Chains A and B, each alone.
Chain A
Amino acid sequence: MTESLISKSIKRNEDPRLLTGNSTFIDDIEFPGMLHVAIKRSDYAHGVIKSIDTSEAKKIPGVVAIYTAEDLGDYWKAGPLQVPPPTAIPGAIFHARPLECIAKNKIRFSGEPIAVVVAESRYIAEDALDYIYLDVEMLDYVGDLEKAVEPGSALVHEDLGSNLAADVVQEVGNYEKAAAEADVVIKKRIVTTHVAGGAIENRGFVAQWDDNMKILNCWATTQGPIPMRNSIARYLGLMENQIRMINPSIGGGFGPKIMSSQIDDVIIPWIAMKLKKPIKWFEDRRENFLGTTSERDQVHYAEIALKNDGTILGVKDVFYHNTGAYDPYGMTIPLNTQTHVISNYKVPNYYTEIKMVFTNQMVVTPVRGAGRSHGIFVMERLLDAAAKKLGMDPVELRRKNLLPPEAFPFKTGVTGQDFVENILDSGNYPMALEKTVQALEYDKFKKEIQPKLRAEGKHKGIGIIMFTEGTAVGPYEGAKVMVGVTGKVNVVCAYSNQGQGHYTTLAQICASQLGVKVTDINVVIGDTGQFQWGVGAFASRGITLVGTAVHQASLKVREKALELGSKLLNTPKEELELEDGCIRIADLPEKSISLGELAMKANPTRGTVEEGMEPGLEAAAYYGPPHGATGFGCLGMIIDVDAETCKPKIERLVLTDDCGTPINPMIVDGQLHGGLQMGIGESFYEKLVYDEYGQMVTASYMDYLFPQASDMPAKMEIKHSVTPSPLNPLGVKGIGEAGAICVPACFMQALEDALYENDLDIVESSLNPSMLFHYVQKAKSA
Chain B
Amino acid sequence: MADKMKVKITVNGTLYEREVEPRLLLSDFIRHDLGLTGTHVGCEHGLCGACTVLMNGEAVRSCILFTVMADGADIKTVESLGTMEKMHPIQEAFQEKHALQCGFCTPGFLMTTVEYLGKNPNPTAEEAREAIDGNFCRCTGYENIVEAVQLAAKKMAAHEQ
Interface residues of A (CB under 8 A from B): 11-12, 14-25, 27-28, 30, 61, 123, 198-202, 249-252, 254, 284-285, 498-501, 666-667, 669-670, 672-678, 700-702, 706, 708-710, 712, 714-716, 739
User: Which of B66-74, B135-143, B153-161 participates in binding chain A?
Assistant: B135-143
Could you tell me if A199 and B144 are in contact, using CB atoms closer than 8 angstroms?
A: no
A716 to B43, CA, bound (A): 28
Could you tell me if A712 and B100 are in contact, using CB atoms closer than 8 angstroms?
A: no
The 3 closest A-B pairs by CB, nearest first: A21-B38, A251-B104, A499-B102
Q: Please classify the interface of chain A as helix (H, G, I), strand (E, B), loop, or mixed, using the class held by over half of its residues.
A: loop
Can you list 17 A-B contacts (CB < 8 A)?
A: A16-B95, A20-B38, A20-B82, A21-B39, A25-B104, A28-B31, A199-B104, A200-B102, A249-B102, A252-B102, A499-B101, A677-B138, A677-B142, A700-B43, A708-B133, A708-B134, A709-B146
A40 to B110, CA, bound (A): 35
Across the interface, A710 reaches (CB within 8 A) one of B45, B85, B129, B145, namely B129
Q: Which residues of A contact B91 (CB under 8 A)?
A: 16, 19-20
Q: Say yes or no: A500-B84 contact (C-beta < 8 A), given A676-B141, A677-B142.
A: no
Could you tell me if A22 and B84 are in contact, using CB atoms closer than 8 angstroms?
A: yes
A12 to B144, CA, bound (A): 14
Could you tell me if A200 and B105 are in contact, using CB atoms closer than 8 angstroms?
A: yes
Q: Say yes or no: A251-B98 contact (C-beta < 8 A), given A20-B87, A674-B138, A710-B133.
A: no
Q: Which residues of A contact B21 (CB under 8 A)?
A: 123
Q: Say yes or no: A709-B129 contact (C-beta < 8 A), given A22-B38, A199-B102, A499-B102.
A: yes
Smallest CB separation, B43 vs chain A (Å): 4
Across the interface, B32 reaches (CB within 8 A) one of A30, A61, A670, namely A30
A28 to B28, CA, bound (A): 11
Known: A21-B36, A499-B100, A701-B45. 12 other contacts (CB 8 A): A15-B95, A17-B84, A19-B78, A19-B91, A199-B104, A201-B102, A251-B102, A254-B138, A677-B140, A677-B142, A708-B133, A709-B132
Q: Which residues of A contact B129 (CB under 8 A)?
A: 709-710, 714
Could you tell me if B87 and A16 are in contact, using CB atoms closer than 8 angstroms?
A: yes
Smallest CB separation, B88 vs chain A (Å): 8
Per-residue interface assignment for chain B, residues 25 to 41, with 1 indicating a CB less than 8 Å from any chain A CB and 0 otherwise = 00000011001111111
Q: Which residues in window 41-94 of B have CB below 8 A to A?
A: 41-45, 47-48, 50, 77-79, 81-85, 87, 91, 94
Q: Which residues of A contact B43 (CB under 8 A)?
A: 285, 700-701
A201 to B43, CA, bound (A): 9
Query: For the complex, is B5 an interface residue (Cβ under 8 Å from A)?
Result: no
Q: Which residues in window 118-135 of B have CB below 8 A to A?
A: 125-126, 129-130, 132-135
Could you tell me if B139 and A670 are in contact, using CB atoms closer than 8 angstroms?
A: yes
A708 to B140, CA, bound (A): 11
Chain B residue at smallest Cβ distance from A199: B138
Could you tell me if B139 and A716 are in contact, using CB atoms closer than 8 angstroms?
A: no
Q: Say yes or no: A25-B40 contact (C-beta < 8 A), given A16-B87, A123-B21, A709-B129.
A: yes
Q: Say yes or no: A673-B96 contact (C-beta < 8 A), given A17-B84, A20-B84, A21-B37.
A: no
Smallest CB separation, B152 vs chain A (Å): 12
Smallest CB separation, A718 vs chain B (Å): 10
Could you tell me if B141 and A15 are in contact, using CB atoms closer than 8 angstroms?
A: no
- Total A-B pairs, Cβ < 8 A: 180
Could you tell me if A499 and B38 are in contact, using CB atoms closer than 8 angstroms?
A: no
A11 to B130, CA, bound (A): 26
Q: Say yes or no: A252-B143 contact (C-beta < 8 A), given A15-B95, A20-B79, A706-B48.
A: no
Query: For the complex, is B150 an interface residue (Cβ under 8 Å from A)?
Result: no
Interface residues of B (CB under 8 A from A): 1, 21, 23-24, 31-32, 35-45, 47-48, 50, 77-79, 81-85, 87, 91, 94-96, 98, 100-107, 110, 125-126, 129-130, 132-146
Smallest CB separation, A321 vs chain B (Å): 25
Q: Which residues of B contact A251 (CB under 8 A)?
A: 40, 42, 102-105
Q: Which residues of B contact A18 (CB under 8 A)?
A: 100, 102-103, 106
Chain B residue at smallest Cβ distance from A17: B84
Q: Which residues of A contact B139 (CB under 8 A)?
A: 252, 499, 670, 674
Q: Which residues of B contact A501 (CB under 8 A)?
A: 101
Could you tell me if B104 and A673 are in contact, using CB atoms closer than 8 angstroms?
A: no
Chain A residue at smallest Cβ distance from B91: A19
Across the interface, B101 reaches (CB within 8 A) one of A22, A670, A716, namely A670
Q: Which residues of B contact A23 (CB under 8 A)?
A: 103
Chain A residue at smallest Cβ distance from B25: A123
Could you tell me if B102 and A702 are in contact, using CB atoms closer than 8 angstroms?
A: no
Across the interface, B47 reaches (CB within 8 A) one of A202, A670, A676, A701, namely A701
Chain A residue at smallest Cβ distance from B1: A61
A251 to B106, CA, bound (A): 10
A202 to B45, CA, bound (A): 14
Could you tell me if B84 and A670 are in contact, using CB atoms closer than 8 angstroms?
A: no
A24 to B36, CA, bound (A): 11
Q: Say yes or no: A667-B98 contact (C-beta < 8 A), given A22-B38, A674-B138, A709-B133.
A: yes
A772 to B126, CA, bound (A): 27
Smallest CB separation, B54 vs chain A (Å): 14
Q: Which residues of B contact A202 (CB under 8 A)?
A: 42
Smallest CB separation, B116 vs chain A (Å): 13
Across the interface, B143 reaches (CB within 8 A) one of A12, A201, A285, A712, namely A712
Could you tell me if A678 and B82 are in contact, using CB atoms closer than 8 angstroms?
A: no
Q: Which residues of A contact B48 (CB under 8 A)?
A: 200, 285, 701, 706
Smallest CB separation, B41 vs chain A (Å): 7
Smallest CB separation, A268 vs chain B (Å): 18
Smallest CB separation, B84 vs chain A (Å): 4
Could you tell me if A673 and B141 are in contact, using CB atoms closer than 8 angstroms?
A: yes
Q: Say yes or no: A16-B84 contact (C-beta < 8 A), given A200-B136, A677-B141, A712-B141.
A: yes
Smallest CB separation, B33 vs chain A (Å): 11
Q: Say yes or no: A674-B103 contact (C-beta < 8 A), given A19-B87, A709-B129.
A: no
Q: Which residues of A contact B145 (CB under 8 A)?
A: 709
Q: Which residues of A contact B85 (CB under 8 A)?
A: 16
Q: Which residues of A contact B83 (CB under 8 A)?
A: 20
